Amino acid sequence: MAEAGSAAGGYLAAARAFYDAAADVPALGACCAQRNDLHLPGLAVPQAMEALAFSCGTTVHPAELSDAPTALYIGVGGGLEALQFAWFSRRPGGVIAVDSAPRMRQAAQDNLAAAARLNPWFDPAFVRVLAGDALALPVPDASVDLVAQNCLFNIFEPADLRRALAEAARVLRPGGRLMMSDPIAERDIPGHLRRDDRLRAICLSGAQRFEAYLAEIAAAGFGVIEVRSRKPYRVLDHMEYGLDADLKLDALDTVSRKVAPLADSSEVDVYTGRRAVYVGSLDRLVLDGIEFVRHQPQPVSDRMAHRLQARAEHDVLLTPPTWRHAPDAFAAETHA
């Protein structure tokens, strides 16, 4: 396997060099930082780890972590989210963290050692930090319960994004979860910004549109995608970036499942927080395999909402996307 950055031109190597430099001077990466507002009881975060948090949203969704899954975290950065995952699993090797930048890996290890001094429950052996690349993960097939990445995959050009998603699917066990946070763009980002290695590395110019991003996840074998949060991330100023008009980026948090799409559909199910409420005269009604109890809101995928649209005039009330966490919404529909 070619080393990152050598096969696909220089942008991957440039990103690695950028993050090696940012490991020593965190201010360099500050432009792709959004505050991670998750506070877990009994978890004290070292200041140096906090300073190296270069995230979009969060990939740590507590409702997904009650079974203490084995997690593979790609692009460890300063180690904050790896530490948060370890808070749930609390066992040696419960978190495997991969990064391609040597100085960033060293910073993560130093920060995890500092975290152990602050947190009696934490042992640095809970997080195994490995040298590796998102495009060729150093982990066997079907060996982890969940894969997470925050603000890394958006850096990749489309062919590399496909490789990274295929790698995530390869290492996940069937039914496993892919937890991601990335910026998405309200419209296509023009070529002169896409070709700028530095803007790409700092998560400002590689973002895809919502539909294209989800289509890539679906094509990699994830039959259900839940949007856990969508919120403004950054505005690219038209003067500064040579654009016709300002361009808004959102931070999108998703949880995708390595399951087949519904038996009767080749389409993927995307949950954006929509609900359908049956308001007809029966106590219960089964529509497309989903049981609706009169007047009780039922989580539905966007595809299902589309199918129910015809009834929306008389006996079904449909709510718009909330772009919010809807844990296990997909369980409402039956999967093969």
Task: Output the smallest distance, CB 170 to ligand SAM, in A.
Answer: 15
Task: Output the smallest distance, CB 31 to ligand SAM, in A.
Answer: 10
Backbone angles phi, psi at 174, to 5 degrees: -55, 135
Binders of ligand SAM among 308-327, rule CB under 6 A?
none
* Binding string, residues 137-176; x marks residues near ligand SAM by CB under 6 A: -------------xxx------------------------
Residues β-bridged to residue 65: none
Cα separation, 315 vs 301, in Å, equals 18
Q: Is 133 in the site for ligand SAM (CB under 6 A)?
A: yes
Residue selected from 55, 111, 208, 272 as contacting ligand SAM according to rule CB under 6 A:
55
Lay out the sheet containing 95-99: strands in order across.
127-131, 95-99, 71-74, 144-150, 172-185, 247-257, 224-236, 269-271
User: What element of type H or E holds 251?
Assistant: strand 247-257
Looking at beta carbons only, is 132 or 273 nearer to ligand SAM? 132
Task: Output the smallest distance, CB 325 to ligand SAM, in A.
Answer: 18
- DSSP code string of 47-95: HHHHHT---SS----GGG-TT---EEEES-TTSHHHHHHHHHH-STTSE
State how beta strands 275-278 and 316-318 pair.
antiparallel
Task: Output the smallest distance, CB 102 to ligand SAM, in A.
Answer: 9
Long-range contacts of 308-315 (CB under 8 A, 24+ apart): 308/276, 311/287, 314/280, 315/278, 315/279, 315/280, 315/281
Looking at beta carbons only, is 55 or 254 nearer to ligand SAM? 55
Q: Which two tokens stand for residue 303?
A: 């595809």
Q: Is 182 in the site for ligand SAM (CB under 6 A)?
A: no
Residue selected from 12, 255, 290, 326 as contacting ligand SAM according to rule CB under 6 A:
12
Cα separation, 336 vs 240, in Å, equals 50
* Binding string, residues 257-276; x marks residues near ligand SAM by CB under 6 A: --------------------
Looking at beta carbons only, is 55 or 70 nearer to ligand SAM? 55
Q: Is 81 in the site for ligand SAM (CB under 6 A)?
A: yes
Task: Output the smallest distance, CB 253 to ligand SAM, in A.
Answer: 12
Residue selected from 65, 129, 184, 203 as contacting ligand SAM according to rule CB under 6 A:
203
Which segments of 56-139 are extended strands (E)? Answer: 71-74, 95-99, 127-131
**Could you identify the residue written with the tokens 């995307």?**
270
Q: Segment near ligand SAM (CB under 6 A), from 95-103, 138-146, 247-255, 277-285?
A: 95-103
Q: Which two tokens stand for residue 138?
A: 């150093």
Task: Output the smallest distance, CB 222 to ligand SAM, in A.
Answer: 20
Task: Output the smallest distance, CB 245 to ligand SAM, in A.
Answer: 26
Q: How far is CA 99 from CA 205, 266, 277, in A?
A: 21, 34, 45
Question: Which positions touch ligand SAM (CB under 6 A)?
Answer: 4, 12, 15-16, 19, 32, 53-55, 74-78, 80-81, 98-101, 104, 133-135, 150-152, 203
